[in-house]
Amino acid sequence: MRGKQAKKRILPPDAKYGNVLITKLINYVMMDGKKTIAERVVYDALALIEKETEKPAMQVFETALKNITPAIEVKSKRVGGANYQIPVPVRGDRRHALAYRWLLVAARAKKGKPMAGKLAEEIISAANNEGATIKKKQDVQRMAEANRAFAHFARR
């Protein structure tokens, strides 16, 4: 690796909720540098969550995030001419990155609603341990469980 490792940037908390997790969600939702639009989408989604669940939006969002963060994933490794899917634990930063990515992919895949509505629906279903993001997490963990026999290759 050439040069120095890039320093980790510290994100400021968002304006409305004062939470770094919401800032991160806004940054993931943002497309083409249009942050104000992303903020409006996220804040509208959180308002919809509060209206539908009658619970604080932050509580529902944090529950959803906790439910969809993966603990284990598989990585490909070539050993003696064959590729093996080796189960490895997920690092802390990557856990959240995968959770946000899965959440947005599932929300964007839905049709017929504005983005705020789709995002709110996906967050609520993730908080209730159902929906496309939970299915994705379970698929990843099931894959890791199925390939547990190859875990000894991870130590090479």
Q: Which CATH class is domain 20-155?
A: mainly alpha
pLDDT of the chain along its 156 residues, tens only?
689 999 989 999 999 999 999 999 999 999 999 999 999 999 999 999 999 999 999 999 999 999 999 999 988 888 888 888 888 999 888 999 999 999 999 999 999 999 999 999 999 999 999 999 999 999 999 998 888 888 787 765
Residue type, 107: A
CA-CA distance, 151 to 147, in Å (whole number)?
7
| pTM of the shown model | 0.89
* Helix axis angle, 35-53 to 20-29, nearest 10°: 120
Residue type, 53: T
* Residue spans per domain, the chain: 20-155
CA-CA distance, 120 to 127, in Å (whole number)?
11
